[in-house]
Structure 1
């Protein structure tokens, strides 16, 4: 079986709620956080897959259409590829917050579906996020959780940003 890193998008890969951008509703609104392309490229060397798993309630709330969201993800993947960083697939929950769907994190359906599709061993994989719902989704799916921020009681590790977390993820995966 394969191993993967599942990454949340907003706040992990790109800026959100910053001076430069409030929400990413168009490709031109997507700004990578410092060190993200380098971090993903380094993860590519040690993991079979890198996935983006994101709640995008703005679709369900009518702030953007799914076609716009797909353009944002296509742009993100293409820009990362220019830096030698490969994201194998980006999946999302388009439903409104509190809609009760199975795919919205903290539920694990997006992660479980990718794991099934790509033959991923979730016990050797990681979910990286900046909210407790990201960590809860990973735990429900069976992954280890890496929280980007100050503190999360469910996380296996906490770091300020993705580039800081990469070495720990790689070392921990090699220990398993």
Structure 2
């Protein structure tokens, strides 16, 4: 299985420091749904690993989060894309859980749900914590400059992530991967 794990906010949709709290606020980044479609059609399995502390903070409910994910899946499906699993951490930063990135718990949930190892797969995110979670699970880190990615890029070396591949957006990563398949 060729697995790609994506962060959500800042990779697939616009991010906000005020949190994405409604389906109307969930706005896809240009080319992201198409990129998921192209990767799915090329035989990649796409999973999501996303911190969603807005649930613990009371900003939105699990039902609203599911509605956002339904919207995301429908947009990807319009382009032939599919998410094999969506793992999310509903906890707050001080909840002492094992799933909040930079810990690899969400990736371990994906491994269990899909019955595969994430070692050697791709972890695409816009923050250092996304990439750290991926590296902890044996993934190859990829930073996109969308969302918080442009700010995170300057911190890659300090976080010992200087070998991470960097792309302008998810579509750029998809182009790279599809043009360099073995």
TM-score grouping bracket, smaller chain normalisation: 0.7 to 0.9
1:92 aligns to what SS in structure 2? Answer: strand
Provide the C-alpha distance between the structure 2 equivalents of 1:59 and 1:148, rounded to a whole number of angstroms.
25
Aligned counterparts of 1:170 and 1:142: Cα–Cα separation in 2: 22
1:98 aligned onto 2:87:
no
Q: CA RMSD in A?
A: 1.8
Higher helix share: 1
Contact 2:40 2:80 (C-alpha < 8 Å) held by counterparts = no
Cα distance between partner residues in 2 of 1:36 and 1:48:
15
What whole-Å deviation, never above 9, does each CA across 1:1-45 have from its counterpart, x for those lacking one?
A: x22111000000001239xxx532111211110111121112113
**What is the CA–CA distance in structure 1 between the aligned matches of 2:168 and 2:112, rounded to whole Å?**
30
1:61-118 Cα distance to aligned partner (Å, 9 max, x none) = 1111111111111121112212222122222000012322100000111111211321
Between the aligned partners of 1:133 and 1:72, the Cα distance in structure 2 is 22
1:124-161 CA-to-partner distances (Å, cap 9, x unmatched) read 31110000000000001111010012422315201121
The answer to whether 1:49 aligns with 2:45 is yes
* Residue of structure 1 aligned with 2:76, choices 73, 80, 96: 80
Correspondence for 1:13? 12
1:67 aligned to 2:97?
A: no
* Structure 1 residues not aligned, in runs of 5+: none
Match of 1:158 in 2: 166
Which of residues 165, 168, 172 is equivalent to 2:176?
Answer: 168
Cα distance, 1:146–1:124 mapped onto 2, change above 3 Å: same
Between 1:104-113 and 1:116-125, the stretch displaced more is: 116-125
What's the TM-score once normalised by structure 1's chain length? 0.88
Alignment: residue pair count? 170
Q: Which deviates more from structure 2 when the two are superposed, residues 147-156 or residues 132-141?
A: 147-156
SS in structure 2 of the partner of residue 145 of structure 1:
strand
Contact 1:5–1:47 (8 Å) recurs in 2: no
Distance in 1 separating the partners of 2:120 and 2:74: 27
